[in-house]
Structure 1
Amino acid sequence: MTTLLSVVIPVRNEAQALPALLDDLAALRAAGAEIIVVDAGSSDSTCELARGRVDRLLSTAPGRALQMNAGALAAQGDYLWFVHADTRVSAASVKRLQEVLHERPLWGRFDVRLSGSGLALWVIGWMISLRSRLTGVASGDQGIFVERARFEALGGYAQIPLMEDLQLCRRLKEQARPRCLRPPLSTSSRRWEQHGIWRTVLLMWCLRLAYYCGVSPEKLARQYRRGSIL
């Protein structure tokens, strides 16, 4: 039997978040989807929690692009769905994805909302979704899905430490606009809450602008880890 969908989840020390996502995906797995977790050297119980609840548990060196490419290489599905470990997926979102995949789109992504409470976080999620609809470019926490054959033809994710999702979307957009799906996925707001909501928004926009102006992903990754644009 052909597997329509492979879900690829890159992880590193996600013991707190991963079980909830696997709960969300349990019905999808029972319906025949393949769940692949790719660990990058977790020192917590991430792998133990994943074992027995996924179809493949892989290990790679750190690097989200490297992890996702490894998962894609092992996948059997006609479509790849890249989902971050701190994402929550509703049953309605899964149903919508299943409906759309039978229409055989080239690629797509979901709208997103941030998990925290408060108007500011709601507005940020709305702005991310709107920006993505206008530009045809998605971030990794929007659950990018893509036809596996086309992903392979493009060489997968570029092996860069940051902006690998934007780079892939720009290449895919040259061939087709993405399918933009609702209901939204919920992604963790922990970075915004830890580092300050508007400071994080400014950092993200500055990093994107710098990337489009030609600043190397390596330098941007260092700035992202520091939480500073300077």
Structure 2
Amino acid sequence: MRAPLSVVIPTLNAEAALPASLAALYEGLEAGVVRELIVVDGGSSDATLAIAEEVGAQVLQVAPSRGGQLRAGVAAAQGEWILCLHADTELSPGWSDVVGAHMARGGAFAGYFRLGFDRGGVAARAVARWANMRARLFGLPYGDQGLLVSQVLYREVGGYGDMPLMEDVAIARALRGRLRGFDHLAVTSAAKYQTQGWLRRGARNFWTLLRYFAGVSPDRLAAAYRK
């Protein structure tokens, strides 16, 4: 029987973070959970593609748009289940048991992980606490918490939109009432928070979310976000 899980990772110049993310996935291969790894690149100019190819990933190259990249990766996936991860997210040991147990319960619900940061102290814990509360109370996990979803449920809700930003919020809203949080940690990079400032980055993310809910297009939000 073939392993049930396809892992999809969108990338863009991710050479610094990608090796740790990929190393954490070996556990799933050894446990017989992971069927394939699909890396969908949006035009990297660094060693991202070489790193992905070295570990035997299927590499797709498409236009840069995280939603579009995820959509292309899922379309190519052959597993009954999909695990979408950011390139700078590292699943903590034991994740394959958690994922395996969820898949065994059937595909009625999608799942996501509890967020943590790889550094940052008190500020990092505060931001992670807010993110986990937002996911639990409002059903809005972000992409750095991962998304585990069956192919059937993914197709039922329409999948990821081809959008450069907020694709994670859009699919979470489509999955409203059908999301379950795992009490298991996904550790993401704090690099952008430390560069921009924890308060500034957090406020910027919250403002972007409010603007999206107010109807501002993802293209306009992405253009503002990159500035």
Structure 2 residue matching 1:224: 3-state secondary structure: helix
Aligned equivalents of 1:64 and 1:72: distance in 2? 12
CA contact (8 A) 1:37 1:54 kept: no
> Counterpart of 2:24?
24
Structure 1 residue matching 2:175: 3-state secondary structure: helix
CA contact (8 A) 2:114 2:145 kept: yes
**Sequence identity, in percent?**
36
> Counterpart of 1:184?
185
> Counterpart of 2:58?
56
Q: Does 1:101 align with 2:103?
A: yes
Counterpart of 2:116 (choices 113, 116, 125) is 113
Amino acid at match of 1:102: A
Structure 2 residue matching 1:110: 3-state secondary structure: strand
> Counterpart of 2:77?
75
The alpha carbon displacement at 1:153 in A equals: 3.1
> Counterpart of 2:2?
2
Amino acid at match of 1:193: Q
Structure 2 residue matching 1:58: 3-state secondary structure: strand
How many residue pairs are counted as aligned between the two chains? 224
Question: Structure 2 stretches of 5 or more lacking a match?
Answer: none
CA contact (8 A) 1:86 1:188 kept: yes
The alpha carbon displacement at 1:209 in A equals: 0.8
1:31-53 Cα distance to aligned partner (Å, 9 max, x none):
24121111111111111111141
Aligned equivalents of 1:27 and 1:118: distance in 2? 28
Aligned equivalents of 2:54 and 2:47: distance in 1? 13
CA contact (8 A) 1:36 1:71 kept: yes
Aligned equivalents of 2:153 and 2:56: distance in 1? 25
- Calculate the aligned-residue CA RMSD, in Å: 1.4
> Counterpart of 2:140?
137
Aligned equivalents of 1:93 and 1:28: distance in 2? 8
Aligned equivalents of 2:202 and 2:166: distance in 1? 16
Structure 1 residue matching 2:94: 3-state secondary structure: helix
> Counterpart of 1:127?
130
Aligned equivalents of 1:55 and 1:219: distance in 2? 33
Structure 1 residue matching 2:10: 3-state secondary structure: strand
Amino acid at match of 1:38: V
Structure 2 residue matching 1:51: 3-state secondary structure: helix
> Counterpart of 2:151?
148
Question: What TM-score, normalized to structure 2?
Answer: 0.94
CA contact (8 A) 1:109 1:179 kept: yes
CA contact (8 A) 2:112 2:146 kept: yes
Amino acid at match of 1:20: A
Question: What TM-score, normalized to structure 1?
Answer: 0.92
1:102-158 Cα distance to aligned partner (Å, 9 max, x none):
111421111101111311111111110011000112111010111112212333211
